[in-house]
Amino acid sequence: MRRKAKEREKDLARQRIARLLRLADEVYPEEPKLGLQYGELARRLALRTKVKIPRRWRWRYCKECGSFLYPGINADVRVRSRRFPHLVIRCRICGGIRRIPYLREKRARRVLHR
């Protein structure tokens, strides 16, 4: 019984996190403070319930200062192909840089086109 309650709590937390992040993305262009609050609330909820933030949203947080990143407004996103293909995400708040390789995706596309 106790295990089911824990799982239900975590599932509810996952749903709320996803909803908060979607809302943050929609609201940010009009009201940046509210968007940042939604992003921070989702992050705190994930930490409190020990739930991982979904992979597609994880890159939206700065590793250095923890702020919610919105491309073009408080973050610069660039695609680089030298050395190894990767995305460069730079936080405009603290200047932190994060590199995300995309070689796997590129290889997967090559296999599909064969």
Could you report how far apart the first and last alpha carbons of the chain are, in Å?
Answer: 51
What's the token pair of residue 41?
A: 């609330």
Please give the pLDDT value at position 67: 86
Q: What pTM, to 2 d.p., does this model score?
A: 0.76
- The domain segmentation of the chain, as residue ranges, is 1-57, 59-114
Q: Give CA–CA dist 86/78, Å, rounded.
A: 8
Please give the pLDDT value at position 105: 62
Please give the pLDDT value at position 82: 81
Please give the pLDDT value at position 70: 87
State which residues of the chain have pLDDT below 70: 1, 104-114
CATH for 1-57, options being 1.20.5.420, 3.30.720.210, 3.40.50.2300, 3.30.1330.20 = 1.20.5.420
Please give the pLDDT value at position 78: 93
